[in-house]
Amino acid sequence: MQNKTVFIIDAGNSSIKVARFERDRLMQVERFPSYDLSQIKGFITKNEGQYALSSVLSEEDTDEIVAAIPGILLLETDAKINLKINYGTTNTLGMDRLCNAVYAFNRTKTDHAVAVDIGTCIKFDIVHKTDGYIGGSISPGIQLRYNALNDYTGKLPLLSNKTRSELVGTSTNLSIQSGVMNGINAEINSTMEQYRKRFSSLTFFVTGGDAQNFDILAKNDIFADENLTLIGLYEIYQQNA
């Protein structure tokens, strides 16, 4: 049991999330834009406690955050964790995927568990109760798909609408929206079904800022936690503090 206040910082590409833990309980989550480090630095100066950081930002931006917090613990993929890693290129495994895997591993009551993270990218990561981390998949999320259609064509507009649309789009915008949103929904559900067919004893843990936009929570082997990555990161902190 940790008696002190612990702040866990997850510095991602689009936002920086800070989770406050008291006595091993998640009490608060704050979000800041990644492009403006002054906001996160302002938060740090007003809140005392132990800090730990996981960052996918540039080395320069990461160093700026580290310099603002004396004694901060920088957590990277070589941190001590409680599961084996069976992955061909361990040095390329993202810290976010590792956090998700730790969370799923610590909670599953089945032989296998899959963390599904639906955000900037759509990530599936599977663990086994004795073999540890096995691997998974990564594909573009909503905005990356919209960006690609705009970047690599001459006339298609850039969209950002994340609501579900009719299957048949009746305009160019609605056709793009249908292709992206219905395509991702089909991809997620189809991938889950393939996992179910291959692994008989299985539980899914779903997270990510865009998870709410898709129909994936109807079955009893799926559990949702919007703070899954942050909690997994805290559990890694506990093993390395």
Q: Which pLDDT score is estimated for 14? A: 79
Q: How confident is the model at residue 218 (pLDDT cuts 50, 70, 90)?
A: confident
Beta strands in the chain (DSSP E): 5-11, 15-22, 25-33, 50-55, 73-74, 112-118, 121-128, 132-140, 202-207, 222-224
Question: Among 5-14, 31-40, 85-94, where is mean pLDDT lowest?
Answer: 85-94
Label residue 31 exposed, middle or buried (CB < 10 Å: 0-12, 13-18, 19+): middle
Check residue 165 and give its pLDDT: 86
Answer whether residue 241 shows pLDDT above 90. Answer: no
Give yes or no for residue 90 having a pLDDT over 70. no
Q: With b meaning 16 or more CB within 10 Å and e meaning fewer, what string describes 140-171? A: ebbbebbeebeeeeeebeebeebeebeeeeee
Tens-place pLDDT, residues 152-211:
999 999 999 999 889 999 999 999 999 999 999 999 999 999 999 999 899 999 999 899
| Confidence bin at 88 (pLDDT 50/70/90) | confident
Please state the rounded mean pLDDT for residues 71-88: 91
* Residue bearing the bigger pLDDT, 138 or 87: 138
pLDDT band per the 50, 70, 90 thresholds, residue 93 = confident
Q: What average pLDDT does the chain have?
A: 93
Of 88 and 96, more confident: 96
pLDDT of residue 215: 87
Amino acid 14 reads S
Tell me the three state secondary structure of residue 33. Answer: strand
Distance from C-alpha of 97 to C-alpha of 116, rounded to nearest angstrom: 9
Confidence (pLDDT) at 132? 95
Give the residue numbers marked as catalytic: 96
pLDDT of residue 2: 54
Instruction: Please count the other Cβ atoms lying within 10 Å of the Cβ belonging to residue 25.
Output: 8
Residue 25 pLDDT > 70: yes
Please state the rounded mean pLDDT for residues 65-92: 88
- Structural domains in the chain, CATH included, are 5-74 (3.30.420.40), 90-141+176-228 (3.30.420.40)
Query: DSSP per residue over the chain, as a string?
Result: ---SEEEEEEE-SSEEEEEEEETTEEEEEEEEETT-HHHHHHHHHH--SEEEEEE-S-HHHHHHHHHTSTT-EE--TTS--SS-B--TTGGG--HHHHHHHHHHHHH--SSEEEEEEESSEEEEEEEETTTEEEEEEEEE-HHHHHHHHHHTSSSPPP----S---SS-SSHHHHHHIIIIIHHHHHHHHHHHHHHHH-SSEEEEEE-TTGGGSS---STTEEE-TTHHHHHHHHHHHHH-
Nearest to 99 by CA among 186, 196, 17: 17
pLDDT for the residue 92: 79
Tokens, residue 30: 């704050």
- pLDDT exceeds 90 at position 220: no
For 136-151, what is each residue's pLDDT tens digit? Answer: 999 999 999 999 999 9
Q: In this structure, what token pair is assigned to residue 68? A: 């603002």
The pTM is what? 0.91
Question: Is residue 99 predicted with pLDDT exceeding 60?
Answer: yes
